[in-house]
Amino acid sequence: MSKPAEVDIALGILDHQLVDSDGINCGKVDDLELTGLDTGSPEVVEILVGGNAWRTRGLLGRLAGRLAGDAVHVPWSEVESVSSVVKLKRPASELRLGRGDPRWSRLVGKVPGS
């Protein structure tokens, strides 16, 4: 981030769209990993995307979290900027994000014109 600014992490970061360095949507900020809560200087260290990051979201979230496996952990150092979206410094594939579309594109790609 270019300059320090006050951000409400629940309203301003959580659930926001993640966009990689190529401008491609690659998931949501489903949860945040914080450290230093006990020492009085809390710090966001990781963004959790998908999988068991949904486990705190009620019954459906627990079920989805169990089915989807482990969340992807993105270090906060990979964040370029925070606005209405959270922009990342690298392409999604290098951060193990955005793997869902390539997985299904083989099937959709069989349709003419796709």
Member of 26, 74, 79, 88 binding another protein (CB under 8 A):
26
Minimum CB–partner distance for residue 88 and another protein (Å)? 12
Q: How far is it, in rounded angstroms, from Cα 56 to Cα 54?
A: 6
The residue (of 3 and 37) whose beta carbon lies closer to another protein is: 3
What is the full DSSP assignment across 29-48? --EEEEE-TTTT--EEEEEE
Q: Is 2 in the site for another protein (CB under 8 A)?
A: no
Q: How far is it, in rounded angstroms, from Cα 50 to Cα 38?
A: 27
Q: What are phi and psi of 74, to 5 degrees?
A: -115, 120
Q: Is 17 in the site for another protein (CB under 8 A)?
A: yes
Where on the chain is the footprint of another protein (CB under 8 A)?
Answer: 12, 17-18, 24-28, 83-84, 98, 100-105, 107-109, 111, 113-114
